[in-house]
Structure 1
Amino acid sequence: MHKRTALVLGGTSGIGRGIAQSFAAHGAEVTITSRDPDRAARTAESIGAAGTPSASGIGLDLCRPEQVADTLLRHGRSFDVVVLNGPGYRPGRISTATSDDFASAYGSMFLSLQQVVSAVVDGMKSQQWGRLLYVSSSSVIAPIDELAVSSVIRSAVNSYLKLLANELAPEGITVNSIIPGRIDTPRVNAVDAARARERGIDADEVRKGAESRIPVGRYGTPEDVGELAAFLCSGRADYLTGSAFRCDGGMTTAL
């Protein structure tokens, strides 16, 4: 990824930060986003401090999709690689989901990403090369009871990306997804805590139970996902598009 320019949404923590760090380590010039521009700048500084190419941070609120494209266009930089790492929606079961929940999640989880694509894809077309990578969820394989709204919206995003992959392939642009398993992030810890409360047990018990069902015996790290992302966004992955790649330690039982 030497000298490639990469935009990583939600790059200040969790999987987004792991991907940003891997990109920088592989030679990319990384821009990360956060709702808090100061936090984005601080994280970028820490990533760039490891002797890697330049890193920068910008403020971008994915919960306000009507502003996303304009914000990126005002930033004035084109990107070779864009990681669509959008926010999930708060935990909850389908029986408690309201129309407002679905409308809010559709804006932050779908429309915001569509607006990012709209802002960056012309630059990729002009050079006949680009990478769009979506950080998805195992809920697109089997919906997660405690993440009902997210499970529904992520399925819509997957359909959008598959259609986009077909259309952009002749332009030298690939569109893929990563499906993380149980990755040690604040988001997964929040889900574990919700399950623990529901069952009346400690969150550590939930984690131990989950780890017992993962063949490699542990939760993944953001860096595990980052290394897969770096490969898929490199020149070595030119023939891979329209596909979803699991990073779950063998957790998913389906073929």
Structure 2
Amino acid sequence: MDLGITGKTALVLGGGGGIGGAVAQVLAEEGANIAIADINLQAAQKRAEVVKSVGGNALGVEWDLGDLGAIDANVALVEDALGPIGILVNNTGGPPPSPVLGQGHEVWLSYFQSMVLSVMAITDRVAPSMRSRGWGRIITSTSSGVVSPIPNLGLSNTLRASLLGWSKTLAREVAADGITCNVMVPGRISTERVQFLDRSKAEREGKTAEQASSESIASIPVGRYAEPREYASTVAFLASAQAAYITGSVVRVDGGLIPGI
């Protein structure tokens, strides 16, 4: 299937990591130009080289999402190199495991800025151009914790959940301009982040990381963690021309993990 995004420019936040890197790769294979933003410039550039090695057009950009003052310059850099941004993949790093009680105001504010406010501000920066061209895709990656809160991930559950209300509201505001806004909900994806969470759980419960991982896999109906590319392929479809009538939605890629309807 031709997704109809050849020549479109995609900005992938957190593109140097597991999920973001896979998204960048799949979108590039579909013909999009890829801006890979990551706080780790080396990781962003390494992923850009991988994309280029298979014929894609890519740019690695050092981008600290906690620095809101860098947004204008970074977006301008991408646009100058690759053209106007038509696909925005909002993918941010997760906070450390924690309860919700006892977190200082400065902790909440810091992660709110890097995980939520940055997403809103970057979207505000690129949406007018999308509107003027009558086409755009805004895809925001969250966590299964926004549907079924995950124990000891209090910061993540709370902050990521706010993006659902934001995206749903935005979807109605820009739908007539040819822009779709959707939220992705990953379950257990085989990335360094999930491995870290498994190790953290094992330490809290006095188990080995292998035991924690096995217990987690046992709770997933399909009986395994997803490969990042499986998640990325769903993101690519939401970015496609064929998905023009899908907006304001929350799409789960969780192998049946989330028990609620």
Q: TM-score, normalised by structure 2?
A: 0.94
Look up the match of 1:21. Answer: 25
Whole-angstrom distance in 2 between the partners of 1:26 and 1:178: 19
Look up the match of 2:13. Answer: 9
Whole-angstrom distance in 1 between the partners of 2:221 and 2:101: 32
Whole-angstrom distance in 2 between the partners of 1:179 and 1:236: 20
Map 1:103-182 → 2, pairs under 5 A: 103-182=109-188
Q: Which moved more, 1:63-72 or 1:148-157?
A: 63-72
Code of the residue aligned with 2:236 in structure 1: it is A
Whole-angstrom distance in 1 between the partners of 2:165 and 2:247: 14
The answer as to 2:38 corresponding to 1:31 is: no
SS of the aligned residue for 2:132 comes to helix
Query: 1:128–1:172: 8 Å Cα contact kept in structure 2?
Result: yes
Code of the residue aligned with 1:130 in structure 2: it is G
Percent of residue pairs bearing the same amino acid type: 34
SS of the aligned residue for 1:95 comes to coil
Look up the match of 2:71. Answer: 68
Whole-angstrom distance in 1 between the partners of 2:199 and 2:42: 29
Q: CA RMSD of the aligned region, Å?
A: 1.3
Query: 2:7–2:33: 8 Å Cα contact kept in structure 1?
Result: yes
- Give the CA deviation at 1:82: 0.6
Query: 1:9–1:83: 8 Å Cα contact kept in structure 2?
Result: yes
SS of the aligned residue for 1:94 comes to coil
Code of the residue aligned with 2:125 in structure 1: it is A
Look up the match of 1:56. Answer: 59
Q: Which moved more, 1:66-75 or 1:2-11?
A: 66-75
SS of the aligned residue for 1:80 comes to strand
Q: TM-score, normalised by structure 1?
A: 0.96
Look up the match of 2:221. Answer: 215
Q: Where does structure 1 lack aligned partners over 5 or more consecutive residues? A: none
Whole-angstrom distance in 1 between the partners of 2:193 and 2:208: 17
- Give the CA deviation at 1:36: 2.7
Q: Where does structure 2 lack aligned partners over 5 or more consecutive residues? A: none
Q: How many residues align?
A: 254
